[in-house]
Structure 1
Amino acid sequence: MDTRQLRTLLAIQAHGTFAQAADVVSLTPSAVSQQVQALEDELRVTIFNRGTRPPQPTPQGLQVIEMARDILRREEDTRASLRGDQIAGTLMLGSVRSSALNLLPRALVQMRQQYPDLKPSLRVSLSAALIADVAAGRLDAAVVAEHLGIPTALRWSPFLREPLWLISSDPLPDSDVADLLRSRPYIRFRSPVPLANLIDTEISRLGVVTNDVAEIDTIGTLVTCVRQGLGLSIVPHVALEKPEGLGLFRLPFGIPPITRQIGIVERTVSPRGAIIERLHGVLADLCGAHGVARRPEGKP
């Protein structure tokens, strides 16, 4: 097995056929087929089902493809390390589908401008899956909300601590938030994420039974419905950054007002530590007054 075979394998997976992969890796289709056959013989598995058009990876082939990605990424990282360049190579990053996700592309653009040899690869998924992938080494780090299920082998560092707001399309009287929730139509954020649980828990603690007129699973759509006058709702501060928050009225949510946190989860011992630390700093800067500086290791 050599890296040329692995690059050919990934080219086939990316482009669909042996012929198209041959153009990418500058080989003939026959040479591509020979490389795949040699790899299959060495590993004693069938990587592609050649009876389908285009050829499809077998279950064992998918494992080999995942292994190839990991080996090539480690090779790239090692080359960067030998050059003394700690902010280079590929950063495998995950993120929850959150209203804070709009911060991450901006941060990655900044990182790419400052470190042109850095190649970020982003995947969006649910918190539990992302945390498991970081623990298993399939991701270098992931952006997730404060979460109870962080294994001890991982470290979670918040970069955003923001208030939650009760929002309305009409002016809100400076009165008790609980009374407003009882008396006005309410749009509930219904999603299997920590933010939804945080909001529902505080509403329950306040002893409020809301008059629900809608249940929505994305913060952006929820803000749109409030702007159209459908009802009140509760959102994190980042959801009201311009232009989303223009024309909406707000009051602090919770008694006392509560906040939510978003941060980066990574392995406590990580070869990508320098990159992740820099990314954390960029994200915290983008959060402005609600940004949280990363604590040095060992500090409470």
Structure 2
Amino acid sequence: MYYSQFRAFHAVATQGGFSKAADHLGLTQPAVSDQVKKLEERFNVLLFNRHKRTVQLTPLGHQLLEITQKSFQLETQAIDLLNAHQSLEKGHINVAADTPLHIIPLIGKFKKSFGGISVSLRMGVADQIIAGLLDFSYDIGIVADMPNDPRFHAITLCEDPLVAFVAKSHPLAKTDTITLKELSDYPLIIREPGSRTRDHTEEEFRNADLHMNIVMEVQGREAAREAVAAEIGVGIVSEPEFGHDNRLKALKLTDCKATMTESLVCLKEKKPLKPITAFFNVHSS
């Protein structure tokens, strides 16, 4: 309510006069004088002793200057902070992904160009990530099989087939391929509800009118990997996510039509924010 009046007072006090204060603020001298006068009249006080060509702070004026110096210093700091974020010198983004496979390289490239922006990473299934984007817990997500939703901006990173994988000591390790019918004869390790891998696997078996012999349900790819390595059953994962593990062997699913599409996603209303735009640009660079 009194910002303009305090600003005029502060300029006169620090610049040493009404004329210099007017030049500093880009205002006319009468306008500055009027603001200071209104402040004095509003509280019935005297902030300056006015002489012909000079002004001097009264004791009360000195006390007020100590306060306005702190206030306008904080304003300067706030402006500097916002400018730093605008120039991508500082900032923070919250990222969530359903696998580290695609997001870690993107974060690495981003940090090389924008080292002042910190990044936090959380892992989860697609539904959790989408919910986190909607409630503003996350700024950016990598989501498998992102649904078409007008609230989001999304770009496709990759589209990959599913593969089965077994321990190298497993009888199936002697072959390179397997059909869904053949796979139905073996115990399966499946992911938790909400996992896109699980959704695809169940749909493929359902479409082929085949029974899934589920021996274990696990949360996360690492748990599935360890369960397969312990020879508990056969796992299913997207081809790039299989990675390299000397204990395991991947088998091509010859009659599986499902693919996993990974997308880089944010809310459309957040897309114009510079750190988020910069992160998306890293993918295309």
1:157 aligns with 155
1:24 aligns with none
Distance (whole Å) between structure 2 residues aligned to residue 233 and residue 247 of structure 1: 13
Q: 1:162 to 1:89 in 2, by over 3 A?
A: farther
Q: 1:211 to 1:124 in 2, by over 3 A?
A: closer
Contact kept, 8 Å, 2:242 with 2:250, in 1: the verdict is no
Contact kept, 8 Å, 2:145 with 2:196, in 1: the verdict is yes
Distance (whole Å) between structure 1 residues aligned to residue 252 and residue 79 of structure 2: 50
Q: 1:117 to 1:94 in 2, by over 3 A?
A: closer
Q: Secondary structure at the match of 2:193?
A: coil
* Counterpart amino acid of residue 166 in structure 2: S
Which runs of no fewer than 5 residues in structure 1 stay unpaired? 1-73, 285-292, 295-300
Q: Secondary structure at the match of 1:213?
A: strand
Q: Equivalent of 1:234, from 233, 236, 250?
A: 236
Q: What RMSD in Å do the two structures reach over aligned CA positions?
A: 3.2
Contact kept, 8 Å, 1:88 with 1:119, in 2: the verdict is no
Q: Is structure 2 residue 100 aligned with structure 1 residue 101?
A: yes
Number of equivalences = 204
Distance (whole Å) between structure 1 residues aligned to residue 261 and residue 105 of structure 2: 19
Distance (whole Å) between structure 1 residues aligned to residue 248 and residue 281 of structure 2: 30
Query: What are the residue-to-residue correspondences of 1:46-57 with 2, within 5 Å?
Result: none
Q: Equivalent of 2:83, from 68, 74, 79?
A: 79
2:251 aligns with 251
1:195 aligns with 197
Q: Equivalent of 1:222, from 221, 224, 233?
A: 224
Identity of aligned residues (%): 14
- Provide the TM-score with structure 2 as the length reference: 0.59
Q: 1:251 to 1:138 in 2, by over 3 A?
A: closer
Which runs of no fewer than 5 residues in structure 2 stay unpaired? 1-77
1:279 aligns with 279
* Counterpart amino acid of residue 104 in structure 1: I
Q: Equivalent of 2:212, from 206, 210, 213?
A: 210
Q: Is structure 2 residue 275 aligned with structure 1 residue 265?
A: no
- Provide the TM-score with structure 1 as the length reference: 0.57
Q: 1:241 to 1:92 in 2, by over 3 A?
A: same
Q: Secondary structure at the match of 1:180?
A: helix
Indicate the larger mover: 229-238 or 106-115: 106-115
Indicate the larger mover: 201-210 or 115-124: 115-124
Q: 1:90 to 1:139 in 2, by over 3 A?
A: farther
* Counterpart amino acid of residue 265 in structure 1: V
* Counterpart amino acid of residue 279 in structure 1: F
The superposition leaves residues 203-248 of structure 1 with CA deviations (integer Å, 9 ceiling, x where unpaired) of 2112221322212122111112212222212112233223xx3242
